C-alpha cells in the first residue's frame, strides 16, 4: 500500500480564560484593522498613481503605524498574526489578478470571521499543550480526536464564530496511507429530493437540515426582531439565532463528511457534474440548493481523493445526462423536471436520476480514456445512438 505526505488541519473547540479571551479579542480587532488599512492603501495607490503595492510595502507601513500615537496599540499584540493577515491580503490580490477571485473586500466587525493565524515563532507546542504568544497559560483544548503521533504543528489558527464558540485549527504534515486500489467506479447525480443518486441505483436521501430546523430558526429570528437595538437582550437573542445556524451547519457538515468518506473509500473513480451552483443560487430554489451544499460535498470528495489515491472527474455541466438513454444512447428532445420515470424507444424504462448517474459515469470514464479536457458529446441527432467521444 502506497503512502503520501499531506498537510491536514485538525480543528478543535477550546475554552479560553477571561484573560485569554480578552487578548484574543484584541488580536482579532488588530488583525481586522491592519487588513483594512493595508487594503485601503493598496486601492488608493492604484487609483491615484497606478502603482502596485507589495507585501514588503505593507509590512513597512505596519512598522510605521505602530510608531504613531493613535496606532501604538498594534504593538501590544503579537506581531505574527498582523504579518500573516498582510500575507493573506497579498494572496487575495494574487488570486484577483489571476482572475480566480473577486477583488478583496474590507473586513466587517460584525460579518467577517474573527480569526488570527500564528506561525511557529508565535506559539509553543510541548507534550500536547499549546501556548500562544502573549499568553502565560496554555489553551484548554477539548481533544475530540488525537493528533497523528509524532507530528509538530506548523501553523495554528484561532477563531471565534458568531455563536461565541472558540476554535483552534492545527495544521500539520502527516503521512496518509492510500486506500487499497479497486476497479470500482461510480457516477454521482446531485439532486434535492435525493441528495445524490449513484449509478449503482442507490439513492441517498437529502436530510434537509435547514428545513427541519426552520421553525426553531424562525422563532429565534422573531425574538431578535423584537429586541431593542444596542441592548444586552438583543445581543443574547443574536447569539440564539447564531447557535441555531451553527447547529444546522454542524449537522450538514457531519453528514457530508461521512458521505464523502464512504464514496472515496468504496470507489477508485468518482464522476460528478461540474455544476454552476453560484448561478443556481440566483433561482427560485436557492434556499433548497444552499441547504444541499453540493459545492461543499465536491470539495470534500476532491481533497479526500487526493489524500487516499482516488480520482474525482468532473464532466461538462452541459452534458445531457438526463435526456440520454443509458442503454442505447438515444437522446430525447426534452425532459421536463416533472418527469421522474420515462421509457426509451429501445424498451428500457429509466428512473430519471439513476439514468443520469449512469450517463455521468460513462462520460467520466470516456474522459479518462481520451484524456483531460475531452467533453462528452452535447448534441446527438434524434433517433440515433450517441457517438462515443473517442474510438479505441
Q: Which residues are catalytic?
A: 189, 273, 353
**For residues 42 and 93, what is the distance between their CA atoms, to the nearest angstrom?**
10
Q: Strand, helix or coil at 5?
A: strand
If we measure between CA atoms, which residue out of 284, 352, 356, 345 comes closest to residue 315?
356
| 382 backbone dihedrals φ, ψ, rounded to 5° | -60, 145
Give dist(CA 187, CA 363) in Å, integer: 9
Helices marked H in the chain — which ranges? Answer: 18-49, 55-66, 79-97, 209-212, 214-226, 232-266, 277-280, 286-292, 294-308, 352-370
> Rounded distance, CA 283 to CA 207, Å?
21
- 122 backbone dihedrals φ, ψ, rounded to 5°: -120, 10
Task: To the nearest 10°, report the CA torsion of 91, 172, 21, 224.
Answer: 70
Grid cell for residue 72: 501604538
d(CA 128, CA 132): 13
> What is the DSSP-derived secondary structure letter of residue 337?
T
- List 354's β-bridge partners, or say none: none
Plot region of 254 (φ>0 → left; ψ -120 to 50 → alpha; else → beta): alpha
What gap in Å lies between CA 390 and CA 392, rounded to an integer? 7
Fill in the DSSP letter of residue 325.
-
Amino acid at each position: 500500500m502506497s503512502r503520501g505526505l499531506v498537510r491536514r488541519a485538525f480543528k478543535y473547540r477550546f475554552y479560553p480564560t477571561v484573560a485569554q479571551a480578552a487578548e484574543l479579542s484584541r488580536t482579532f480587532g488588530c488583525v481586522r484593522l491592519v487588513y483594512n488599512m493595508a487594503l485601503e492603501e493598496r486601492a488608493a495607490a492604484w487609483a491615484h498613481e497606478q502603482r502596485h503595492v507589495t507585501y514588503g510595502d505593507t509590512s513597512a507601513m505596519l512598522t510605521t503605524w505602530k510608531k504613531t500615537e493613535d496606532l501604538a496599540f498594534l504593538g501590544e499584540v503579537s506581531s505574527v498574526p498582523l504579518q500573516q493577515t498582510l500575507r493573506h491580503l497579498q494572496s487575495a490580490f494574487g488570486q484577483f489578478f489571476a482572475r480566480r477571485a473577486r477583488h478583496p473586500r474590507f473586513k466587517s466587525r460584525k460579518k467577517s470571521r474573527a480569526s488570527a493565524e500564528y506561525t511557529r515563532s508565535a506559539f509553543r507546542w510541548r507534550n500536547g499543550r499549546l501556548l500562544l504568544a502573549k499568553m502565560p497559560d496554555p489553551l484548554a483544548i477539548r481533544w475530540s480526536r488525537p493528533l497523528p503521533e509524532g507530528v509538530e504543528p506548523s501553523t495554528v489558527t484561532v477563531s471565534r464564530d458568531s455563536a461565541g464558540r472558540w476554535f483552534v485549527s492545527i495544521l500539520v504534515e502527516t503521512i496518509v496511507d492510500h486506500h487499497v486500489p479497486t476497479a470500482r467506479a461510480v457516477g454521482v447525480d446531485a439532486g434535492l429530493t435525493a441528495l445524490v443518486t449513484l449509478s449503482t441505483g442507490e439513492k441517498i436521501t437529502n436530510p434537509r437540515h435547514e428545513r427541519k430546523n426552520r421553525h426553531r430558526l424562525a422563532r429565534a429570528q422573531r425574538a431578535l426582531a423584537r429586541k431593542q437595538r444596542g441592548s444586552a437582550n438583543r445581543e443574547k437573542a443574536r447569539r440564539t439565532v447564531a447557535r441555531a445556524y451553527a447547529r444546522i451547519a454542524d449537522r450538514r457538515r457531519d453528514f457530508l463528511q461521512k458521505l464523502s468518506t464512504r464514496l472515496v473509500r468504496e470507489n477508485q473513480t468518482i464522476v460528478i457534474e461540474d455544476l454552476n451552483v453560484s448561478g443556481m443560487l440566483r433561482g427560485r430554489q436557492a434556499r433548497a440548493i444552499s441547504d444541499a451544499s453540493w459545492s461543499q460535498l465536491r470539495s470534500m470528495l476532491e481533497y479526500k481523493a487526493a489524500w487516499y489515491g482516488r480520482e474525482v472527474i468532473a464532466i461538462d455541466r452541459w452534458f445531457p445526462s438526463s435526456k440520454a438513454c443509458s442503454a442505447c444512447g438515444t437522446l430525447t428532445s426534452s425532459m421536463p423536471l416533472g418527469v421522474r420515470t420515462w421509457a426509451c424507444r429501445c424498451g428500457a424504462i429509466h428512473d430519471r436520476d439513476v439514468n443520469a448517474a449512469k450517463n455521468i459515469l460513462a462520460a467520466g470514464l470516456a474522459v479518462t480514456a481520451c484524456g483531460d479536457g475531452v467533453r462528452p458529446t452535447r448534441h446527438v441527432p434524434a433517433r440515433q445512438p450517441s457517438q462515443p467521444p473517442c474510438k479505441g
